[in-house]
Amino acid sequence: MNKRSISGYLEQDEGGDTRLKTRDKPKLPLPQPPVPNPLAHREPKVRFSIADDSSQPIQHSGGSAYSLPGGNSGTEMVVRKFHDALARSPDTAVAVAAIKALTTVIERSTATTMMGLEKELKDAASSLERCNETAISLKAGCQLFLRYITRTSALEMENFEAAKARIIERGNYFAETSVRARATIAELGARFIRPGSILLVHGHSRVVLALLRKAVAQGIQFSVVITEGRPDETGLTMAQALDNMRVPTIAILDCAVAYALEAFRVDMVLVGAEGVVENGGVINKLGTFQAALAASCHNIPFYVAAESYKFARLYPLGQRDLPIERKHVDFGPLMPRNTHIENPSRDYTPPKYISLLFTDLGVLTPAAVSDELIQLYV
């Protein structure tokens, strides 16, 4: 038990009890008793999926999903705002929606001091985080905004009202920031694509797509090897987008990554990220880790494109430290009854397998990510 908690998050959160429970579950089914699948009864708690940055529509189930523990009108409002912002356009990033929602909290706030405002925001942020405890970029967005309020330039203002106005202005401006961030990353990253090169891309990512589009616009000819992205076939969505851009694309099975790196003479691997953690590693769609391992074995550079608001204050030491989000997967009728199915939706790639990160703060080494986060939070 102690060992577990050491390897856990270096972070305190109020809503962490479910996570702890799931983490303590045995990873492999015990040999003797034919246990029913411990997870079979669980309702899928997750209402929107961002593990793959997918543009699939967000389900608004409403009703019971909104009933939060100890929820009052304030927290419901913030959650509703969050979903509204997400629903407005499929291109909205989760962090942007979260910051939008938190901004409305400030607008309506009746607090008269910075401390009071901070308290209200903290409550709102934690209720936001509770609506999907596994979403890393949601957490990162909330953290960034809270930090902005307590630590950064808003404090330079003369009085509370001015500071509040400035924060609101910034919060509302953030959506544009995220669009700009993508443009900057595309600009920086496209320089890494040499004419005639072959890229392997895993998962659907809007940043990666923007980057490739930029490269196409610059007249660089390249081709892409894309993984299927089981079980939600996000790779095929990506392939469609690439097809529209007339980029020659080869689709492969997820298990063919190692084969493809050598067989197709891939020059670089490019992925997006759901979150970038404190040591410079990334959390992304399942299969990213194995792609990174295979790339490092073949001495192929592994690049990650991610906006800086995805930098999260997490320090996972391994796969087991990730918040678990399971998705349903159907193995068909041949599946034996007592076999336990595990389908995590994301994995953690340690920094040593990452060559560089393309971010709106510049092209960073994994070490530089730590530096940025430490500067902000310490």
Q: Give least dist CB 199 to other proteins, A.
A: 13
Structure tokens at 140: 């990162």
Residue 247 touches other proteins, criterion: CB under 8 A: no
Label the pairing between strands 356-359 and 362-364: antiparallel
Residue 123 touches other proteins, criterion: CB under 8 A: no
- Nearest CA to 209 out of 228, 237, 229, 230 is that of 237
Residue 356 touches other proteins, criterion: CB under 8 A: yes
Name which position in 46, 135, 144, 225 contacts other proteins (CB under 8 A): 144
Radius of gyration of the chain (CA): 21
Residue 298 touches other proteins, criterion: CB under 8 A: no
Structure tokens at 362: 């510049």
In the window 177-206, what residues touch other proteins (CB under 8 A)? 177, 180-181, 183-184, 187, 191-192, 194
- Nearest CA to 9 out of 349, 322, 351, 283 is that of 322
Nearer residue to other proteins within complex by CB, 309 or 348:
309
Residue 363 touches other proteins, criterion: CB under 8 A: yes
Name which position in 48, 174, 289, 303 contacts other proteins (CB under 8 A): 174
Q: Give least dist CB 151 to other proteins, A.
A: 8
Q: Give least dist CB 231 to other proteins, A.
A: 34
Q: Give least dist CB 82 to other proteins, A.
A: 18
Identify any residues that bridge with 284 across adjacent strands, giving them in sequence order: 347
Nearer residue to other proteins within complex by CB, 184 or 205:
184
Amino acid present at 171: G
Residue 155 touches other proteins, criterion: CB under 8 A: yes
Q: Give least dist CB 61 to other proteins, A.
A: 32
User: Do 343 and 325 form a contact (C-beta atoms < 8 A)?
Assistant: no
DSSP characters over 99-112: HHHHHHHHHH----
Amino acid present at 106: I
Residue with tokens 């959506």: 175
Q: Give least dist CB 360 to other proteins, A.
A: 7
Residue 367 touches other proteins, criterion: CB under 8 A: yes
Label the pairing between strands 282-285 and 275-276: antiparallel
Positive or negative, the Cα torsion across 10, 13, 18, 21?
Answer: positive
Point out which residues bind other proteins (CB under 8 A). 144, 148, 151-153, 155-156, 169-171, 173-174, 176-177, 180-181, 183-184, 187, 191-192, 194, 308-309, 311, 355-356, 360-368, 371-373, 375-376
